[in-house]
Structure 1
């Protein structure tokens, strides 16, 4: 990826994100809150876990970006999600949807349907979630993907076109598309799926990048995924298992710089 005003590179966006420390409102699940917040802090962003309807809408107007993760739903949280997304739209702030296991129950399906109508700039999910979101039959079990990323690429492209959004499918090799352009991002570690809240934290990091590049959501998403994969690859070099990997991952993200990101990035341009 070449770097200019309309097509910023991952390393340029990473440097800008770290310099500006964007405020990211994260409406995420109970399981992911601590790890997601630490991920943003290590990357250089500023997390705010604000979710109640009494304040989530107001807060979305001052945050650089909003991320919405439906991992642990309740009626009150859904109201907070909708209020925040509506306010983000009114304030021209980008927001990211993470449709965790949206196919599992009627409550989740209905919630995601309502959130999609509020026009997220970016949708990030695993292969099973994206396949099901596109109307296909997935092999997902709860929050875990049962499908390889390559099987979700067509659904992701169609979803991006129909929703006018960037769609990211994450897994062993990530796939990002805006319906016209598409890339695959290689890297990371086999230990990443063994850590609770990795995907949820990645969604939060996408929010940090799109906060500083609201007019370039495709590039922001690619940069976030490349950053996450680079930190995962670095952490894997010294981790002995899932427990130590989680610690090493936060340290690797904290120690990452633009040069290391350039060295570790493996981005395959498809179109």
Structure 2
């Protein structure tokens, strides 16, 4: 049976992140580095941005969690990602895969599939990315999803069963599954997809929570906290330009009241 989590449990997880200050090793998109690093710092975690093949194993061993984001993929980065993911498994560090743009090219899809085979703890993507990674037809333009998250819940369940990962599909409503019935998380704001690297930062935040909670609970907590921050931040913005900075402020200032006002985690639903 798939069990949801409560907002008090989410708040407890956030308090643990703030108390432990986990080090999150990011092998991520060049576009996303600054936003991800600032989001982690505002959350209460510590970022490390190390991409060189020669040092990724050292950083994985030191870090509390790893996030791999294929947004600005290259041969060198792909090699570093595979090496880091394998070492994370060897030393027992949780890691998160963000298969950015999976399905946009054969090269990118092959890289994402190869990484998904290396036992990530959480896979986080939009509907088109999750559909493609699961081997199903998807609708997307580059890294942007045209498919709705609801359309990818079946694919997410199948992908979770195949890889052993918790799969989070993000969209207007987010869904989390570990192979069982998806759990919806209703939060966030329509401005969030209009600002570059917001989703990448979310994947980094999920990684921070995997350092203090099991993967399913970590994904649900991160989605609720980050989405609540996005919703609160968007209320202070006239457009998407300042949204990343406002989200960082909202993460830093997150309180139980703000979380309760802007986030809802539902009961499991049929996939």
TM-score, shorter chain, exceeding 0.5: yes
Does the 8 Å CA contact 1:40/1:47 hold for their aligned counterparts? yes
**Alignment partners' CA distance in 2, 1:182 and 1:105:** 28
Matches within 5 A, 1:62-77: 62-77=62-77
**2:138 aligned partner:** 138
**1:20 aligned partner:** 20
TM-score, normalised by the number of residues in structure 1: 0.94
TM-superposed CA distance for 1:259, in Å, is 4.3
**1:174 aligned partner:** 174
**Alignment partners' CA distance in 2, 1:44 and 1:181:** 31
**Alignment partners' CA distance in 2, 1:227 and 1:268:** 15
TM-superposed CA distance for 1:128, in Å, is 0.3
TM-superposed CA distance for 1:12, in Å, is 0.9
User: CA distance change for structure 1 residues 190 and 108 in 2, over 3 Å: closer, same or farther?
Assistant: same
- Give unpaired runs (5+ residues) of structure 2: none
Does the 8 Å CA contact 2:109/2:132 hold for their aligned counterparts? no
Does the 8 Å CA contact 2:131/2:138 hold for their aligned counterparts? yes
**Which of 225, 237, 255 is the aligned partner of 1:257?**
255
Does the 8 Å CA contact 1:166/1:179 hold for their aligned counterparts? yes
TM-superposed CA distance for 1:183, in Å, is 1.0
**Alignment partners' CA distance in 2, 1:162 and 1:36:** 29
RMSD over aligned Cα atoms:
1.6
**SS of 1:147's equivalent?**
coil
* Residues 17-41 of structure 1: per-residue CA shift (max 9 Å, x gap): 1111100001101100000101101
**Alignment partners' CA distance in 2, 1:235 and 1:219:** 24
* Residues 225-250 of structure 1: per-residue CA shift (max 9 Å, x gap): 00011001111222111113232211
TM-superposed CA distance for 1:51, in Å, is 1.2
**Alignment partners' CA distance in 2, 1:263 and 1:51:** 38
**1:267 aligned partner:** 265
**1:155 aligned partner:** 155
Count of residues in correspondence between the two structures? 266
Does the 8 Å CA contact 1:124/1:169 hold for their aligned counterparts? yes
TM-superposed CA distance for 1:109, in Å, is 2.0
**Which of 230, 245, 248 is the aligned partner of 2:246?**
248
TM-score, normalised by the number of residues in structure 2: 0.94
**SS of 1:61's equivalent?**
helix
**1:34 aligned partner:** 34
Matches within 5 A, 1:4-15: 9-15=9-15
